Amino acid sequence: MTTTELDVSKARALTPGCERVIHFNNAGCGLMSQPVLDTVIGHTQLEARMGSYEAAALKADAIDAVYTSFAKLLNCNADEIALTDGATQAWHRAFHSVPLAKGDRVLTANNEYNSNWLSLRRTCDKVGASLEVVPSDANGLLDVQALKNMLDDRVKLVAITQITNSNGMVNPVVEVGAALRGTNAIYLLDACQAVGQMPMDVERIGCDLLSGAGRKFLRGPRGTGFMYVRRSVLDRVEPAVIDIHAAQWTGRDTFKWRPDARRFEQMEFSVADRLGMGAAVDHALSWGLDAIEERILGLSTLLRKRLNELPGVQVRDQGTRPSGINTFTIEGKDLNALLLTLRAQGINTSVTNFDWAWLDLQARGIERIMRASLHYYNTEEEVERFVEAIARA
């Protein structure tokens, strides 16, 4: 197996959790690095010593720098970034800003994340819009040609997820962007599982709105998220929530929105957590996203190979481009019980149940699936120990 030049020993030394657990649940929550931990604790202590508002004023430049870091990560402008209190909040703020009316059409994929689907379904039902699923191709990916065939002037939104949480496949997001170029449809991309494990370029992708998490492969604190809002669509969308941070009160009965993506934010937030998320972005950039992806894919290739060698184990990944999310089932085994058994051995994984991925798992006749999501600080030895634990099961 080829390995990257990334210094795994250094990465692990900077990750306190590596001393205690084999963490194969990075698609749920990555292990925070020491720089992230120091940033969050340091600012919290500063607030305790001098007051929260005063500490925020002192760190104003550092807070602004978080937007610059995200702009570098996504290849966009800093004024196209908004910070939120989680990925779900980011996606919902993006989605609910898109004006939809009776007769409009919304397109999504057959592997859309459950929370996204529920909100798409409820809103379309409420306003009288049509929610339609683009068929998948033979590999389970969104069929781009089918998408092209479905496009017309009534399609106002195309909302898809870049990497599916229940099968690890990477949708053809660049091709989707190319198909939508020149149309009136707004392109909303859920990049929750992609940002932090592979290079991201919103210009190449062509999305108008993007949401992501701080806690997953970026390895930031929980309760942090972010949005990208393309400048050219800023006046076509309108935040569902407004306060004095998002807009300026210009008269008794008038106001004007902020001129940038921060109109999607609110005044109150955890400064410590947002600084921690910025530290996580800087930490990822310091390694290089190409090197991170290479390392993750090398480990994932090894894991899938070893799992395929075990009797009764069926790897359930789909798509043509692999990711760090590896899924499998075990014949006759209660995966929820196995999850607890592994956790007792210091091995973290997760189980995706039917309720969490209804569209995908129902179509494949799978009730629940085990997910092992790897990161660059994991090792080949940890993969072998994990496979041995599965074999004993």
Give the up-direction half-sphere exposure of residue 340: CA atoms within 13 A in the CB hemisphere: 4
Mean pLDDT of 315-321: 85
Mean pLDDT of 67-96: 97
What percent of the chain has pLDDT above 70?
Answer: 98
Task: Note the pLDDT tens digit of each residue in 127-156.
Answer: 999 999 999 999 889 999 999 999 999 999
Mean pLDDT of 370-385: 97
Mean pLDDT of 234-252: 94
What is the band of 236 on the pLDDT scale with cuts at 50, 70, 90?
very high
Q: Distances in Å between the alpha carbon of 306 and those of 65, 298, 303, 315, 391?
A: 43, 13, 5, 10, 10
**pLDDT score, position 317:** 83
Mean pLDDT of the chain: 94
Burial of 48 (0-12, 13-18, 19+ CB in 10 A): exposed
Cα first-last separation, the chain: 26
Residues in CB range of 99: below 8 A, 6 or more apart: 156, 236, 237, 238
Residue 60 pLDDT greater than 80, yes or no: yes
DSSP 65-127: HHHHHHHHHHTS-GGGEEEESSHHHHHHHHHTTS---TT-EEEEETT--HHHHHHHHHHHHHH
What is the band of 354 on the pLDDT scale with cuts at 50, 70, 90?
low
Task: Note the pLDDT tens digit of each residue in 68-81.
Answer: 999 999 999 999 99
What is the band of 2 on the pLDDT scale with cuts at 50, 70, 90?
very low
DSSP 378-390: --HHHHHHHHHHH
Q: Which of 154-168, 176-190, 365-379 has the highest mean pLDDT?
A: 176-190
Mean pLDDT of 171-192: 97
Range with lowest mean pLDDT among 80-89, 182-191, 348-357: 348-357
**Tokens, residue 168:** 């690890």
Residue 1 pLDDT greater than 50, yes or no: no
Residues in CB range of 204: below 8 A, 6 or more apart: 75, 174, 177
**pLDDT score, position 358:** 65
What is the band of 4 on the pLDDT scale with cuts at 50, 70, 90?
very low
Set out the domains of the chain in order of their start, with CATH numbers. Answer: 8-31+288-392 (3.90.1150.10), 37-286 (3.40.640.10)
| Dihedral over Cα of 257, 259, 265, 268: its sign | negative
**pLDDT score, position 29:** 96
Residues in CB range of 159: below 8 A, 6 or more apart: 95, 106, 107, 108, 112, 116, 120, 188, 189, 190
- What 8-state DSSP symbol labels residue 130? E
Mean pLDDT of 12-32: 97
Task: Note the pLDDT tens digit of each residue in 270-309.
Answer: 999 999 999 999 999 999 999 999 999 999 999 999 999 9
pTM for this model (two decimals): 0.95
Task: Note the pLDDT tens digit of each residue in 199-219.
Answer: 999 999 999 999 999 999 999
Mean pLDDT of 295-324: 93
**pLDDT score, position 3:** 41
